[in-house]
Amino acid sequence: MGDREFSRDNYRDSDRGERKYERKPKKLDESYIFGVRAVIEAIKADREINKIMIQKGMNKELFLELKEALKGKNHQLQFVPNEKLDRITQENHQGVIAMASPVSYYKIEEIVEGLLEEGKKPFVLALDRITDVRNFGAIARTAECEGVDAILIPANGSVQVTPDAIKTSAGALNRIKVCRTESLKDSLFYIQQCGLRIVACTEKSKTPSYSTNLRGSVAIVMGSEKDGVTSDLINLADVACRIPMRGEIASLNVGVAAGMMMYEKLRQELNT
């Protein structure tokens, strides 16, 4: 069969006209682009792509064609066994499947500049290598409720916007602007130069969040589930703070911690 865009929930058994999931996909509503030339055309058209999965030991000629199209791009690539691709679709994927984003990503520079030109005080939430889709969705839902203007995520090594994330966010990811960057550090440095204070939330700090000024133009940085905010970003930040705790467990779930930081900013501004 030829290359085309494919959605898992459109697959039907040709004999019975019924839905058939003999190889039950993990997600039934994820959009995919499969087949070398279809993926190449998507790359050339600058489609929003979360990840490209490539079969290990893929046909050399086709791989070289794909590699040529990827020059100058920075898409997240994952080399996987052919069996994994077959579990996603029974179509002729030719050893490559691209996961298409259900939303368009924004550029943080344009969002911040636009808000400043309007006389507003940008509130950005930067997520440093968060990988759990449920945490991401929960954070986005709270962010929309608490007035965050944009969420900033890395293009690589981070969760992306997927249908599951949108569902977990109760649709908030369709309303809030999500910005994707090749370098989180460079993007934070840029908006810092635009006048935003960078606040890193880390348990390594001794300063409690309630003693940290979160009013006005701010970018709050939340770290990964595994090891928190990277030292490079802590060093870049104007200030680092921690959420005070009394219990014996050393850290909070990042989704809960992000909610507490966003609420603290709102509390401070309401009490100004």
Statement to judge: residues 124 and 86 lie in one domain:
no
Whether residue 257 is found in the same domain as residue 140: yes
Stronger pLDDT, 49 or 148, i.e. the higher one: 148
Mean pLDDT rounded to a whole number for the chain? 87
Residue 264's domain is classified under what CATH number? 3.40.1280.10
Provide the pLDDT for residue 269: 94
Same domain, 187 and 123: yes
Q: How confident is the model at residue 63 (pLDDT cuts 50, 70, 90)?
A: confident
Q: Which residues contact 269 (CB under 8 A, 6 or more apart)?
A: 214, 215
Output the CA torsion 252→226→85→16 (10° steps).
-10
Q: How far apart, in whole angstroms, are the C-alpha atoms of residue 145 and residue 170?
A: 11
Range with the poorest average pLDDT among 65-74, 145-154, 232-241: 65-74
CB 153 within 8 A of CB 178: yes
Lowest mean pLDDT among 10-19, 72-81, 122-131: 10-19
Same domain assignment for residues 185 and 251: yes
pLDDT band at 75 (very low <50, low <70, confident <90, very high): confident
In this prediction, residues 205-217 reach a mean pLDDT of 96
pLDDT recorded at residue 59: 83
Q: Is the pLDDT of residue 125 over 60?
A: yes
Q: What percent of the chain has pLDDT over 90?
A: 62
Of 50, 68, 100, the residue that ends a domain is 100
Domain boundary among the residues 82, 100, 118 is at 100
Q: What is the pLDDT of residue 30?
A: 52
Domain that holds residue 45: 4-100
Residue 23: per-residue pLDDT: 40
Alpha-carbon distances, residue 63 vs 25, 54, 57 (angstroms)? 25, 9, 9
Looking at the structure, tell me whether residues 78 and 141 fall in a common domain. Answer: no
Domain count, the chain: 2
**72 shares its domain with 8:** yes
Flag whether the pTM goes above 0.85. no
The whole-angstrom separation of Cα 199 and Cα 212 is: 9
- Six-digit token string for 28: 């039934």
- What is the tens place of the pLDDT at every residue in 156-192? 899 999 988 999 999 999 999 999 999 999 999 999 9
> Could you tell me the end-to-end alpha-carbon distance of the chain, in angstroms, rounded to an integer?
63
Contacts of 186 (CB under 8 A, 6+ apart): none
